[in-house]
Amino acid sequence: MKHWMIAAAVSAALFGCSAVKSELDSAAPAAVTLVETVEHQAGQANIPYKKYRLANGLTVILHQDNSDPLVHVDVTYHVGSAREFAGRSGFAHLFEHMMFQGSQNVADEQHFKVITEAGGTLNGTTNTDRTNYFETVPSNQLEKMLWLESDRMGFFLPALTSEKFEVQRETVKNERAQRIDNRPYGRLNERFSQALYPAGHPYSWPVIGWPEDLERATLADVKHFFQRWYGPNNATLTIGGDFDEAQTLAWVEKYFGEIPAGPEVKADEKVPVTLDKTRYISMEDKVHLPLIYMGYPTVYAGHKDEAALDLLANIIGGGKTSLFYKNMVEQGVAVQAAVSHPCQELACQFTLYALANPAQGGELAKLEEKIAQSVAEFESRGVTDEDLQKVKVQFEADTIYGMQSVKGKVSTLAANQTFYGNPDQVTNDLARYASVTKEDVMRVFNTYIKDKPMVVMSVVPEGQTQLVAKPDNFIAPSPQVAEHAVDVEIDAEQIVSSFDRSVMPKAGDAPVVKVPKLWRSKLENGIEVVGTKSDETPTVELVVYLDGGHRLEPVEQSGLAYLTAAMLNESTTKRNSVELANALEMLGSSIHFSANASQSSVQLSSLTANLPQTLSILEEQLFSPAFNEQDFNRVKQQHLQFLQQRSSDANYLARTEYGKLLYGDNVHFGIGASGSIESVSKLTLDDVRAFYQLQYRAGNAKVVAVSDLTQQQVTSKLGALASWQGEATELAPVNPIKTAKTGAIYLYDKPDAPQSVISIGRLALPFDATGEYFKADLMNYPLGGAFNSRINLNLREDKGYTYGARSYFYGVAEVGTFTAGASVRADVTGDAVKEFIAEINQFKAQGMTDKELSFMRSSISQGHALEYETPYQKAGFLRRIQRYQLADDYTAEQQRIIESVTKQELNALADKWLNIDDMVILVVGDKATVKQQLEQLGYPVKMLN
């Protein structure tokens, strides 16, 4: 089912109006006007807030949440790629990067440094219609965040230089290479949009921009774009979390109030998109699975028909209960198929896609016929009462789950204000979605889908054009080239600040971190349960972990644990997989079995009110799997096709080859938990049944629970798990580990790859929470563990080689590794490897500086305030304690180590673990481009394929 762009409807019984107050709030400074107050209403899934406006047009939204000592700050500018001009694309996304590069009173790279040192996280995102910048920090850091955000809003241009512009232009080009050019199906969306939207339409070019446009852009272009769109009157500042309202408003007025408004911003016209005929386009790509992607233009976000179109998409192709799944995936002609109705501010698309199963020919013409048959079946089938009820329950669940974090609530408020002028849009959506009728769904089907022209795109493996649905009958016009006469810049008023903005505000007193209070219990059969109570949402997160997973299967049967878990998501002896999926959707619940390197697990998410029914379904899936031949053949075939498909992904190839180099290919840890095509091909249904008997025993199991229920309430509902039987299965010891010879560069050839994936590393330490592994992680932090680490600043910010570079220690109970890596431009692969080696060698020889030690201590210590906010985070914390038998207060010991560990001790660890001569060096890239570069480094280059 679609994850709604904004929180949507709950069942009709929860309807009610929010209380809106218009009177001036005494907490607001004189220059800040209160617009409205929306309070939470019992039984309604709305988000309480207060909305203010400054004289310069800045909208300010405050949401109080005192459950954790943190704040989330979001500044959303109502500008995305849709407000660019044809021929000058990519500017909004470029600014997402540029505005992290310092401003008049914030030094280069200081934005990341300040927030990371404060223990916070930060990022920015751009889409077609808005750009947002956000950070989550301990609550004592709020004033500092407002200083940072206001300085880049009002004082960005004085610090903008040609050098910064050129570096970020390279970074964006690297991002495009990594996310689009070097990824299977990466160019699908931009090619499709060119065919769906007319030339010059603001959605006809990609958000990241055309490379040619970025190359032609000038510094004057960039300045003009900023002056036009980044004023306070085109922005919304949203703050959520634990803060003092009066103090926060005073800070907002101080830092933002004197920034002058920018040019007037008017809403863009929403012109309906129409097609004259069905347009067929195709593309060859480095893929294994042929893909058909179809789309109809429909309405726009917030349109009266949007909700009915969403429901229509769900019925036709929204998961296991849909017609698409029944007609294509179940029958094995497609390994994946779905329908959705993504909406943007100016336009929506009704999209249908299917990934063909090459084992059944892979012809996309046959899939197009199947899609047409499914649409026709919907027309004759119509809409059922169950369809309507299911979507309302799903909306309720999605809305509540979306409120589990301050960030989720703040993002919702900010988006609703930006696009609708109403942070409380949730209330409107309650009525809008719940009022959809069967007649509405059929009406929108007839209006926008039935017999209407569409775009049909085929993506086929290179050299297999015979698989396309139909020959191309449409050629998209070439992107327009803008004339680059010098723009007349908008006069920007020079701000004379009323205070010294160059002085960074000091943080307040450090907040008290609220570590979850644990409870422990044992079921009658001895299964350990660790839990904590979380009152923020009426939800339950329950995870059953079983020791084993990939470690429990024979090496030659790698992928068996993965396949067995996949089969447990299928039919039981009582119901088939579609019936089970329908039952869960009607409850707003999910149950998912999975397996990884060292464990199998089942994750259950449920609204508290529906927990008994959800647990009943879990009992059925866990204890009564059907393990029928039809499900097995389909699941196995899907997995084999995805393994084949992943072999065209450079990052997957790098992970796979790197594991073999470190551990060898006869050791569990040298082979991925998903297995190989060779190993999975040999697996049988009897193998699955046998592994189920070994793995899914009570003796292997432990349980983690996070909910708004008490310990007694939770354990009293686990009766089915309490009757589970079976002794623990003994795990074989880890085999002797053989690593590849060091002193060489291993090259895996991926022809024509625009980027190379570099992995440099060695076997290192198994996980421990307070010993050498933990201290080694602290040591690595300034080398490659933070955004402003040495490695990332060198390769990304200084050299422009990559979108991001890092290093890290990773360990489980038995083994561990140290890895440094990045995806880099193919033409600088050799130079990038050289820089990695230089950084590692220098850090080994000289260690960290006093400033880096201080930065690490501050960043990691204060970051603890952010670690336990959501039920998912709490569950991870509990599982770590449970799995490694840690003390409940082990984080206090970690904090003691952070504060007391010496630079000499950490530098000794650098000297011990960062010897480049002990490391393997792997490059996955285009041999023709990179081999000679690598040979110039003085290492022998050994080919792996």
Query: pLDDT digit string (tens) for 842-878?
Result: 999 999 999 999 999 999 988 887 788 888 888 888 9
Distance CA 370, CA 232 (A): 51
Count CB-CB contacts under 10 A for residue 746.
Answer: 23
Residue 557 is encoded by which pair of tokens? 């049967």
Which of the four pLDDT bands, split at 50, 70 and 90, describes residue 4? Answer: very low
Better-predicted residue by pLDDT, 30 or 245? 245
Which of the four pLDDT bands, split at 50, 70 and 90, describes residue 372? Answer: very high
> What pLDDT does residue 491 have?
58
> What pLDDT does residue 17 have?
32
Q: Which CATH class is domain 745-870+884-943?
A: alpha beta
Q: Which fold has domain 518-722?
A: Cytochrome Bc1 Complex; Chain A, domain 1 (3.30.830)
The interaxial angle of helices 406-420 and 425-434, nearest 10 deg, is 80
For 833-885, give the DSSP string.
HHHHHHHHHHHHHH---HHHHHHHHHHHHHHGGGTT-SHHHHHHHHHHHHHHT
Please compute the mean of the pLDDT values over residues 515-535 and round it to a whole number: 93
Domain ranges for the chain: 20-159+199-256, 279-400+425-467, 518-722, 745-870+884-943
Query: pLDDT digit string (tens) for 279-333?
Result: 999 999 999 999 999 999 999 999 999 999 999 999 999 888 899 999 999 999 9
Terminal Cα distance for the chain, rounded: 41
Which amino acid is located at 654 in the chain?
A
Please compute the mean of the pLDDT values over residues 824-835 and round it to a whole number: 96
- Output DSSP code: residue 161: -
On the 0-12 / 13-18 / 19+ scale of CB atoms within 10 A, 493 is: exposed
> What pLDDT does residue 489 have?
53
Token pair 């790098």 is at which residue?
Answer: 654
For the four alpha carbons of 90, 95, 100 and 104, in that order, the dihedral sign comes to positive
The interaxial angle of helices 890-900 and 772-780, nearest 10 deg, is 50
Distance CA 574, CA 572 (A): 5
By DSSP bridging, strand 59-64 and strand 32-39 are: unpaired
The interaxial angle of helices 850-863 and 903-913, nearest 10 deg, is 100
CA distance readout (Å), 551 to 5, 27, 190, 528:
40, 59, 42, 21
Number of residues assigned to the chain? 945
The interaxial angle of helices 219-229 and 91-98, nearest 10 deg, is 90
Query: pLDDT digit string (tens) for 662-715?
Result: 998 888 889 999 999 999 999 999 999 999 999 999 999 999 999 999 999 999
The set of residues, in sequence order, having a beta carbon less than 8 Å from that of 123 and lying 6+ positions away, is: 133, 134, 135
Distance CA 700, CA 528 (A): 10
Residue 446 is encoded by which pair of tokens? 């007839």
The set of residues, in sequence order, having a beta carbon less than 8 Å from that of 676 and lying 6+ positions away, is: 558, 559, 643
Q: What is the radius of gyration, based on Cα positions, of the chain?
A: 28
- Output DSSP code: residue 420: H
Degrees (nearest 5) of the Cα angle 332, 333, 338? 95
> What pLDDT does residue 292 have?
98
Please compute the mean of the pLDDT values over residues 578-583 and round it to a whole number: 93
Distance CA 2, CA 318 (A): 7
Domain 20-159+199-256 grouped into CATH 3.30.830.10:
yes
Distance CA 807, CA 818 (A): 7
Q: Can you list the positions of beta strands (E) in 596-661?
A: 599-607
Dihedrals phi, psi of 615, to nearest 5 degrees: -65, -35
By DSSP bridging, strand 701-707 and strand 528-533 are: parallel
Instruction: Indicate the Cα dihedral angle 120, 121, 127, 131, nearest 10°.
Output: 20
- 630 has pLDDT over 50: yes
Distance CA 840, CA 774 (A): 19
Which of the four pLDDT bands, split at 50, 70 and 90, describes residue 427? Answer: confident
For 707-751, give the DSSP string.
ESS-HHHHHTT-HHHHT---PPPPPPPPPPP----SSSEEEEE-T
Distance CA 547, CA 658 (A): 25
Are the C-beta atoms of 834 and 939 separated by less than 8 Å?
no
Token pair 């409205």 is at which residue?
Answer: 36
Q: Can you list the positions of beta strands (E) in 172-290?
A: 235-241, 279-285
> What pLDDT does residue 493 have?
59
The H or E element containing residue 152 is helix 142-154
Better-predicted residue by pLDDT, 116 or 5? 116
* Candidate CATH numbers 3.30.390.30, 3.30.830.10, 3.40.630.30, 3.10.20.30; the one for domain 279-400+425-467: 3.30.830.10
The set of residues, in sequence order, having a beta carbon less than 8 Å from that of 660 and lying 6+ positions away, is: 670, 671, 740
Instruction: Indicate the Cα dihedral angle 640, 644, 649, 652, nearest 10°.
Output: 50
Distance CA 405, CA 873 (A): 10
> What pLDDT does residue 228 have?
93
Distance CA 569, CA 655 (A): 27
Q: What percent of the chain has pLDDT over 70?
A: 95
The set of residues, in sequence order, having a beta carbon less than 8 Å from that of 864 and lying 6+ positions away, is: 119, 513, 891, 895
For 6, what's the count of Cα atoms within 13 Å in the CB-facing half-sphere? Answer: 30
Query: pLDDT digit string (tens) for 208-230?
Result: 999 888 888 888 888 899 999 99
Q: Give how far the C-alpha of residue 617 lies from the chain's centroid of Cα atoms, to the nearest Å.
A: 29
Query: pLDDT digit string (tens) for 782-808?
Result: 999 998 999 999 999 889 899 899 999
> What pLDDT does residue 8 have?
30
* Edge-to-edge strands, sheet with 455-461: 279-285, 455-461, 291-297, 349-356, 334-340
Q: What percent of the chain has pLDDT over 90?
A: 72
On the 0-12 / 13-18 / 19+ scale of CB atoms within 10 A, 53 is: middle
Query: pLDDT digit string (tens) for 176-194?
Result: 888 888 888 999 999 999 9
Distance CA 250, CA 237 (A): 14
Please compute the mean of the pLDDT values over residues 45-64 and round it to a whole number: 94
The set of residues, in sequence order, having a beta carbon less than 8 Å from that of 564 and lying 6+ positions away, is: 595, 600, 688, 691, 692, 695
Decide if 279-400+425-467 and 518-722 have a common fold. yes
* Helix, strand, coil % in the chain, rounded to nearest 5: 45, 20, 35
Degrees (nearest 5) of the Cα angle 257, 259, 265? 105
CB contact burial 471-484 (16+ within 10 A = b; e otherwise): ebeeebeebbebee
- 486 has pLDDT over 60: no
> What pLDDT does residue 736 have?
67
Please compute the mean of the pLDDT values over residues 157-174 and round it to a whole number: 86
Are the C-beta atoms of 90 and 479 separated by less than 8 Å?
no
Distance CA 804, CA 795 (A): 8
Count CB-CB contacts under 10 A for residue 186.
Answer: 17
